[in-house]
Amino acid sequence: MIVHPIDYRYGTEEMKRIWSEESKIKRMIWVELTLLRVLSEKGYLSFEDYLTAKKNSRKITPERIKEIEAEIKHDVMALVKAISEVAENAGRFVHFGATSNDITDTAIATQLRDSVKILEHKLSKLLRILARKALEHKKTICLGRTHGQPALPTTYGFRFALWASEILRHFERLEELKERLLVGQLSGAVGTQAAYGKEGIEIEEKVMKYLNLKPAIISSQIIPRDIYCEYIEFLANVSTTLEKIALNIRLWQRSETQEVFEKFDVRKQVGSSTMPHKRNPIDSEQICGLARIIRGFVEPQHQSAILWEERDLTNSSAERITLVEATILLDHILTKAIKLIQNLEIDEERARENLERQLGINMSEAVMIALTKKGFSRQEAHEIVRKLAMKAYEEKRHLKDVIIESELMRFFSEEEIEELLKPENYLGTAEERIEKVVETIKRKLNIQDL
């Protein structure tokens, strides 16, 4: 019986494959066999016996492991026994000197490594898309809003560049995180590698080299969980950016705004079971909903880092959920975000209409700055223009008309006022900042073209 939505609704096949039960078992067997290989190189068993164990390990089935676990009530020892059953002469050295988390934590490190590659690729792809959108729409002027209220003009290119800069920082964080995250261990029951004597460090280093991992600098019975906390926090941080992007797209698609739209297949797609006209922003809404679930794993993972002495078992059950679900769901909404931004539709005419509907009132700062340059104090200029703007609001008139009737005309010509109230004249360094972000992305990704 399938219960969890990840099994039938959410997640990409490539990421779910990494975190599947079958994958976990194969990776744990891989770690055990790699330990056997190194032990054979150290003379504990022959290399031929190791090769026999490796060949015969293909006979191990999840069903057999579960059968043993049902009897002995220990999942890792069940795997050890299943390997030993088929390893022939090498069976006596299966799991030699190791403890359960040497195998599970190191196997998890390989899952994290493969997951990070996927996340890194998709962050890079989203970066490129946002950078292209930033350049494409660097002159697409629109109304900026603060507190949900009309503010100065901006451009959609600037908005895309702002999002791109945030995704770029996540890309950089992931690069930095890999150095701390992708580590395995072979440290024994309390971290001292006592079973291997003075050879412990060398054995651990060789095992990790074959697995393409780094050994942890030091660990107890388990890898210190602060690195898992950092990883989950990273996933939560990315999810927050994706939710912010999706939320704003939802706001701009509202009937009151109607400037930006999710791609909608008008031929077949259904928006509502009862309202045939609906074109709901379903991908954006899904991103927002699942991002909240991802962030919800931050606290359980932090709790899983608080363990008795060398360790207890409270982290194990929680991490079977936190690491798996947070990774799969972040990959899912990142995939959704790529599709969403790639196919986004922008109604430039509507954006201009919404800007002009403000009757120039949102351009009050431009008038205030110009008045200050005429010799007024900034505070005095603010109050003069504020009163004129409030009058324009109340009377539902264009700010230009209100200013023309005021004392300000002693200092300005009508042509000057008209130029001050043109949105395209008050974009400052928007284009330069967009181009700076795009160039930074190109350097970071080491590419010439987007």
Q: CA-to-CA distance for 35 and 29, rounded, in angstroms?
A: 10
* Residue 225 three-state SS: coil
CB 220 within 8 A of CB 188: no
* Residue 422 three-state SS: coil
Determine phi and psi for 86, rounding to 5 degrees.
Answer: -110, -5
* Residue 268 three-state SS: coil
Residue 81: count other Cβ atoms within 10 Å of its Cβ.
19
From the list 4, 74, 121, 272, the catalytic residue is 272
Task: Check if 95 is active-site.
Answer: no
In angstroms, what is the C-alpha Rg of the chain? 30
CB 235 within 8 A of CB 326: yes
Which residues partner with 150 through β-bridges? 145
Residue 394: count other Cβ atoms within 10 Å of its Cβ.
9
Q: CA-to-CA distance for 336 and 263, rounded, in angstroms?
A: 12
DSSP character for 411? Answer: T
Closest CA to 156 of 346, 337, 295, 311: 346
DSSP string spanning 275-331?
A: -TT----HHHHHHHHHHHHHHTTHHHHHHTT--STT--SHHHHHHHHHHHHHHHHHH
Q: Name residue 202's amino acid.
A: E
Q: Name residue 63's amino acid.
A: E
Which residues partner with 154 through β-bridges? 142
Percent helix, strand, coil in the chain, to 5, is: 70, 5, 25
Name the burial class of residue 31, with classes exposed (0-12), middle (13-18) and buried (19+) by CB atoms within 10 angstroms of its CB. buried
Q: CA-to-CA distance for 216 and 204, rounded, in angstroms?
A: 9
Angle 46-51-55 from CA coordinates, rounded to 5° = 150
Secondary element (H or E) of residue 152: strand 149-155
Name the burial class of residue 439, with classes exposed (0-12), middle (13-18) and buried (19+) by CB atoms within 10 angstroms of its CB. exposed
Task: Check if 84 is active-site.
Answer: no
Which sequence positions are flagged as catalytic?
A: 147, 272
